[in-house]
Amino acid sequence: MRATRGAARGYILVAVVGALCCVFPVLRTGAEIPWFTLALLTGLYLVCELPGRFPFFGGSVPISAGSFFPLLLAAAFLLPPAAAALVAVPGSLVGRVEQPPAAARRVWRAAQLAVTVWAASTVHALLGGTAALGGTGTGPDLPYAILPACAAALVFSLVLTALDGSILVVAERLPPGRAWGGLLSRSLGPHLVHGLAGLMMAVLWRGPYGPLSALIVLLPMYISCWVFAQYHREHAAHRATIRALVQAVDIKDTYTRGHSERVGRASVIIARELGMEKDRLEVLRFAGILHDVGKLGVPTRVLRKDGPLTPEERQVIELHPEYGHEIVRGIGFLGEARAAILHHHERLDGSGYPYGLRGREIPEFARVVAVADAFDAMTSTRSYRRGRPVPAALEELKRCAGTQFDPQMVRALVRGLERHGWSAVTAGVTADEPPADGGGAETLRPQAGPARVPPPGRGAPCHRPPQGGTGRMPPARSPRDGTGRPARTQSPGPQPPADRRR
């Protein structure tokens, strides 16, 4: 909630009244409540939520919403609905809150979980789940006990999703489709797993070992939660590193702002058509996003120069792949992306740079990024020319396939764009997942208005050398590539990719 608006406060108040109605039967005189079980489960949930409030634990203990839902579902299986609703209240009121207003969020969370657990416990009781759990001297009625447990977990997921979406509509003023879109599909599977874990805890609780058995379920659950939290924390650190590098490049070379992320997206489209594994696909996305990070080592006056480049300035520009490789060399999680950053301007015919590699000598990631880079360079509108329509850019890539680009990668891009289309809108580099497709069916078109005549050297990938030039690329003196191999001097040959800003 950006702020606790009047409508949001009213909605939270309604949820609190609903929660009080759910727990009211516990307060009646003569209510048969297993107080020991209620107190123990409430205390366990409170202890599970407390570490997130303390700085000593905050950096290493994974406390997040949903971490201990199996405990709440075990309470729904073991206790009457009114008593089960109470279990989540103390822990929710003291749990960690990521964003302000903290008090309103805690009250909302306590009321939301109380209503949700009450609904799950009610369905479980109506389906005979309490009797199916067995007790002292009798075993659980398996496999029937699984049915009411799964039904309760389903209701738990439905009610929680409905309440989560409704507060977004009221407090954040999101459209209903956006507020609820995808919530249930993302949460249903995990909640069913939580229900089975809660059932196991409830069966052990009713068994000969009693409440102590809860620790048998809680401990491995907590360890697995910690492992996943560590993974997500590391992944977030990776994204932060990528974001910082891309922002630095965009600040220095505003000419190509947004280009890096679009190249990352186009690279993912190609990789999906090639059937790459998911872990390699993510690294390839990083390669596309960071392919121009070496521009940080190129003087700003050269990057932003309006007129044609001198041979000496072209030499400097053509060092950016090696500068990029040096910058990311120590970033271990980039893996194959480092080779793509170094070699994305190589050409199949050997006339590229920095090492003049040929054919399969060029790493696969570099061949993918080269196609994605050229495609976005052609379809993007620049200060000196209009962007080409997507079909025209694809025709140019096909024409250059076999000499400059790998034909397999070009065909993969064509298939991917035919299936998903292409949009100029880019997703942020901090997104958890790369877009599943091309980002929409909207085709990128050139902007309206007269186009400037491009200065020499700024054309399509296979254009001829600038007029007055020699058709050769000057020798590039550059650092070693990290393997001890020095840069090779380019021999005369076709002009490398002519858009010097890519």
CB distance 367 to 412 below 8 Å? no
Closest by CA position to 397, among listed 425, 362, 364, 373: 373
In the predicted structure, residue 24 carries a pLDDT above the cut 70: yes
Cβ–Cβ < 8 Å for 363, 339: yes
**Does pLDDT of 353 surpass 80?**
yes
Please provide residue 382's backbone torsions phi and psi, each rounded to the nearest 5 degrees: -110, 175
Q: Which pLDDT score is estimated for 120?
A: 95
Q: Under 8 Å CB-to-CB from 490, ≥6 apart: which residues?
A: 351, 353, 356, 472, 473, 474, 475, 476
pLDDT in tens, 201-235: 888 888 777 777 767 777 777 677 677 777 777 87
pTM comes to 0.54
Q: Indicate the Cα dihedral angle 307, 312, 317, 323, nearest 10°.
A: -150
Q: How far is CA 235 from the centre of its chain?
A: 9
Specify which residues 135 forms β-bridges with. Answer: 138
pLDDT, position 255: 65
Report the alpha-carbon distance of residue 417 to residue 406 in Å, rounded: 17
Structure-model confidence comparison of residues 469 and 103, the more confident one: 103
Q: Which residues pair with 385 in a beta bridge?
A: 382
d(CA 454, CA 499): 10
Confidence of residue 329 (pLDDT cuts 50, 70, 90): confident
Dump the DSSP string for 4-20: --HHHHHHHHHHHHHHH
pLDDT, tens digit (0-9, with 9 covering 90-100), for 94-119: 877 777 788 888 899 999 999 999 99
The residue ranking higher by pLDDT, 17 or 65, is: 17
Burial classification of residue 200, based on how many CB atoms lie within 10 Å of its CB (0-12 exposed, 13-18 middle, 19 or more buried): middle
The residues, any chain, with a CB within 8 Å of residue 499's CB and separated by 6 or more, are 374, 377, 378, 458, 459, 460, 461
**DSSP state string for 196-241:** HHHHHHHHHHHSTTGGGGHHHHHHHHHHHHHHHHHHHHHHHHHHHH
Residue 330, H or E segment: none
- In this prediction, residue 5 has a pLDDT band, given cuts at 50, 70 and 90, of low
d(CA 268, CA 291): 14
Instruction: Please give the radius of gyration of the chain, using alpha carbons only, rounded to the nearest integer.
Output: 30
DSSP 3-state percent helix, strand, coil across the chain (nearest 5):
60, 0, 35
Predicted local confidence at residue 136, as pLDDT: 60
Instruction: Pick the more confident residue, 12 or 499.
Output: 12
**What pLDDT is attached to residue 66?**
57
Q: Find out whether 282 and 434 touch, Cβ atoms under 8 Å.
A: yes
Q: In the predicted model, what is the mean pLDDT of residues 167-196?
A: 84
How far is 364 from 366, CA to CA, in rounded Å? 5
Give the Cα-Cα-Cα angle 496, 499, 502 (nearest 5 degrees): 100
Give the tokens for residue 163.
């309440």
pLDDT value of position 497: 39
Higher pLDDT, 17 or 453: 17
Read off the tokens for 248.
């630095």
Does 121 have pLDDT greater than 90? yes
Dihedral sign (CA 352, 357, 358, 359): negative
High-pLDDT (> 90) share of the chain, %: 32
More confident residue, 189 or 454: 189
Q: Are 79 and 40 in contact (CB under 8 A)?
A: no
Residue type, 404: Q
Determine the pLDDT at residue 113.
93
Burial class (CB in 10 A: 0-12, 13-18, 19+), 60: exposed
Please give the mean pLDDT across all residues of the chain. Answer: 77
Average pLDDT over residues 389-414: 93
Answer yes or no: is pLDDT of 468 > 80.
no
Structure-token pair, residue 218: 């809680």
Report whether the peptide linkage leading into residue 143 is cis, meaning its omega lies within 30 degrees of zero.
yes
**Beta partners for residue 138, in sequence order:** 135
Give the pLDDT band of residue 463 (cuts 50, 70, 90). very low
Q: Please state the rounded mean pLDDT for residues 20-36.
A: 81
Convert the pLDDT of each residue in 39-80 to its tens digit: 989 988 888 777 655 554 444 444 445 567 888 999 999 999
For residue 467, what pLDDT is reported? 31
Distance CA(487)–CA(502), nearest Å, equals: 21
**pLDDT reported for residue 371:** 95
Residues 124-174: tens digit of each pLDDT: 999 998 888 876 667 788 888 999 999 999 999 999 999 988 988 888 778
If we measure between CA atoms, which residue out of 166, 133, 135, 161 comes closest to residue 14? 166
Q: What is the DSSP letter of 467?
A: T
pLDDT, position 239: 82
